[in-house]
Chain A
Amino acid sequence: MLAKRIIPCLDVTAGRVVKGVSFVELRDAGDPVEIAKRYDDQGADELTFLDITASSDDRGIIFRIIEQVASQVFIPLTVGGGVRQVEDVRNLLNAGADKISINTSAVLNPQLVADAAGRYGSQCIVVAIDAKRVAEGRWEVFTHGGRKATGLDAVEWAQKMQQLGAGEILLTSMDRDGQKNGFDLELTRAVTDALEIPLIASGGVGNLQHLVDGVKVGGADAVLAASIFHFGEYSVQQAKQFMAQQGVEVRL
């Protein structure tokens, strides 16, 4: 049967992998190419790179990183951050990315998702959604790294993105991101049940049981985590072995 995917996420700025709590207190985690190779060796199913570079001057760095990783690592690579037009999608694909993640620009210009999917296929378009709980059973979409409220309902927005051609949804709980107390399972379940396309759960992983819960309780098709892998708490291999013991189908 199809395995649930474990996806280490690398937030990249100024050529380094960093990780912060709610986008502040950035901590250096190392060289992106070395880290990517390490996770590949450990059996990661995919890798996601988010370019969180603030300055447009440094935007070329991510292309060089992706080129280097793609020549050495033969698993799917997703790249996101600052994708504003179809040309950005093309350039990242040409650098070696397999999927492109679109977040803020999807809200500002939903047609971008339709155009990019129409041109390059739904299989390479991931829409990333940052959602914050605003009421019982209701989550709102935020953009600009979680700083701007949009008024959009996360479940409805995910469905609209599917309709426009997204091949996959990367869902991050703003409330849980960096908190290490587990995914927002209710949010995960609400969105995945409303979709026909796969859902990647993100935000809040602090231990291996959280990964299992994301799949078994939240219903995610893939789970994404950063800091538990970056700072050596667990290897990807350990995570997969634990998940397999808990009855989750994984690629070992």
Chain B
Amino acid sequence: MADIAVVDYGMGNLRSVQQALHQVAPAASIVVTDDPLEVARASRVVFPGQGAMPDCMREMEARGLREAVLQAARNKPFLGICIGLQMLFEHSAEGDIAGLGILPGKVVRFAHDLHDVQGRQLKVPHMGWNQVTHDEHALWDGITQDTRFYFVHSYYVQPNDMRLVQGTSCYPQPFVCAVARDNLFAVQFHPEKSADAGLALLQNFVSWNPV
């Protein structure tokens, strides 16, 4: 039985996630797996994702991972990353598709004509290091307000229930970049690529014992 399972549904490289987890938990057994049984048996589950959400949903379903992911999101420490956050919601504007529906709300795209305060056009995807304002949660332990994390995305989540929100960033309007409920925590940015701040969050996750 693995301590941590990283759910692999064939969408890109999960090695950086695995290596960052190894860095913060060198003694833990970490598997990158597409086997629903391994996901079910692991003590903790990381649910990453990159690329387009319709492709991610299709590949995850094709590997028969839906039930295992739904179960893990209900009963053990669970960390969603990037598209792995977006897939938890009910619907995405990307491809106009349904998500897993674990959390109420939807995924929408940044507008095409965003401008900063100087009137300069803002690029999409929102790519780079942006500041995160966060609430009180075990996964933010030791991480100061407005710490920068690395983002790369064109879509973001809009939860229906604002009590889910654990962190926001601005581009240029505030958007939700972290949510939590019970044993579940999910972020839009990439902790595995966010240097010390990201490693701190992963460190908090591997030692997190939600009640």
Interface residues of A (CB under 8 A from B): 1-5, 40, 45, 70-71, 74-76, 93-94, 96-98, 120-124, 167-168, 193, 195-199, 219, 221-222, 251
Instruction: Report how many A-B pairs have Cβ atoms within 8 Å.
Output: 101
> What separation, in Å, do the CA atoms of A4 and B116 have in the docked complex?
13
Q: B148 touching A198 by the CB < 8 A rule?
A: no
A40 to chain B minimum Cβ distance, whole angstroms, is: 7
> What separation, in Å, do the CA atoms of A124 and B190 have in the docked complex?
13
Q: A70 touching B15 by the CB < 8 A rule?
A: yes
Chain A hits for B171, CB < 8 A: 1-2
Interface residues of B (CB under 8 A from A): 11-13, 15-16, 19-20, 23, 50-52, 55, 112, 116, 120-131, 148, 150-153, 170-172, 192-195, 198-199
> What separation, in Å, do the CA atoms of A74 and B51 have in the docked complex?
20
The main secondary structure of chain B at its interface with chain A is mixed
Chain B hits for A3, CB < 8 A: 128-130, 148
Chain A hits for B15, CB < 8 A: 70, 94, 96
Chain B hits for A193, CB < 8 A: 121
Nearest A residue to B153 by beta-carbon distance? Answer: A123
Nearest A residue to B150 by beta-carbon distance? Answer: A76
Q: B127 touching A168 by the CB < 8 A rule?
A: yes
A95 to chain B minimum Cβ distance, whole angstroms, is: 8
Given A123-B152, A124-B12: A74 and B195 interface contact (C-beta under 8 Å)? yes
Chain A hits for B172, CB < 8 A: 1
> What separation, in Å, do the CA atoms of A74 and B112 have in the docked complex?
31
